[in-house]
Amino acid sequence: MLDYADDDNYTEKIEKLVTMTVAAAKGIVPVGQVALPLAQIANGDLAPPEIRDFIRALSRILQGERDPLKLAEALTPELAEIMWDTLDQIDAPLPETGEAEPVGLTFEELIEKVAEACSGEVMLWQQLWSLTEQLSADENLPPDIRALGSVLRKILAGERQKFILDELAPHHRGPVEQLLDWLIAQAVTPER
């Protein structure tokens, strides 16, 4: 599942797992979306034992554990430091989203941003979560735009089944299907 041969790759994967754990602990993403991959890594034999210990500590954070000494007791000093940073990130307040000036995105840019957000860009995910909620709920928008907002929100929530494409207008269906195909491929064979 995770390959730790390349140190930069190793660091990048740890950072993504920490980012997603922080997002789940703050309620930005559903806990289940993060808990399953963590459990698979922690209980598998593809990661080194010290990484599995670290992943188990991240899982305990998702279950509500916040005592840094208990969380770090089985970790190497380097991983213990990352654990402390993770707890600091969870305690840090979220940036104010406020009533910012709306950002104009083309349809293609919106699809690209959803792909980025689903790849671990937590702050972007949070912004798109709000945007897609607005798109899907705004009665003043055309039905095809509301449907697009609804489908992209489902994708942000982790839905990968293609039946959701049925809700879309034909001109939106192809690019969103490509997005789903890409996300499914990423889940099966993550970038190395």
User: Which spans in 3-142 are helix H?
Assistant: 7-25, 31-43, 49-62, 68-72, 77-91, 107-118, 122-137
User: In angstroms, rounded to a whole number, what is the distance separating the alpha carbons of residues 97 and 119?
Assistant: 21
Q: Give 21's pLDDT tier (boundaries 50, 70, 90).
A: confident
How large is the average pLDDT for residues 123-148? 88
- DSSP designation for 105: -
Q: For residue range 172-188, list pLDDT tens digits in order.
A: 999 999 999 988 887 76
Q: For residue range 22-71, list pLDDT tens digits in order.
A: 888 887 777 877 888 888 888 888 888 999 999 999 999 999 999 999 99
Q: For residue range 92-134, list pLDDT tens digits in order.
A: 776 554 444 445 678 888 898 898 888 777 778 888 888 898 8
Q: Looking at residue 95, what is its pLDDT? A: 54
pLDDT at 192 over 70: no
How large is the average pLDDT for residues 10-21? 80
Top-confidence residue, 161 or 27 = 161
- Cβ burial of 99 (10 Å; 0-12, 13-18, 19+) is exposed
* 0.95 exceeded by pTM: no
pLDDT at 12 over 90: no
